[in-house]
Amino acid sequence: MSNQPSLKASGHNPHTIEEAQQLVKYVESLFMPWNIDALIDGFTDDCIVRFGTLPEFRGKQALRRFFTARSSKQNGYRLTKQLRTLANDTMTNIWDGEWEDKTTGRKMKGFGVEVWKMRDGKIAIWEAAFNSAPAGETLDVAKMLG
């Protein structure tokens, strides 16, 4: 049995801060452990994804490839998401994550900001800014930019 909270599919976008917070926490739970099927179910069939510096991609098949690639690289992924705004059909959240790189064994950390444009209770457009670095390492602007 999963320890992930359940969220009954309502078919409508969150209307209140409480509903939006529940959705963000539910999505957070789907990453620990990875539940790719449930993550995919939370997107529209024609979803558009703009994630960090990756080229834009569309649709659930591309989204599945993205989540599968991430889950194969990030061991022990731990995530905390916090709702920031709800305005009509748009939600924003911030997140902090930690994981171990499966290839190098290096402990990593990440921070991101997401914008979700919702349709019928699902994410239709997912835009995310994402930064990551080795955990415990303090970066200055020069290191961060490359």
pLDDT at 139 over 80: no
Closest CA to 30 of 49, 10, 3, 56: 3
Local structure of residue 31 (DSSP, 8 states): B
- Is the pTM here over 0.85, yes or no? yes
Domain boundaries defined on the chain: 17-135
pLDDT at 3 over 80: no
- What pLDDT is stored for residue 143 in this prediction? 74
pLDDT digits (tens, 9 = 90+) for 53-111: 999 999 999 999 999 999 999 999 999 999 999 999 999 999 999 999 999 999 999 99
- What pLDDT is stored for residue 114 in this prediction? 98
CATH fold, domain 17-135, is Nuclear Transport Factor 2; Chain: A, (3.10.450)
pLDDT digits (tens, 9 = 90+) for 5-54: 545 556 899 999 999 999 999 999 999 999 999 999 999 999 999 999 99
DSSP labels for 10-76?
A: -SS---SHHHHHHHHHHHHHTBTTB-HHHHHHTEEEEEEEEETTSPPEEHHHHHHHHHHHHHHHEEE
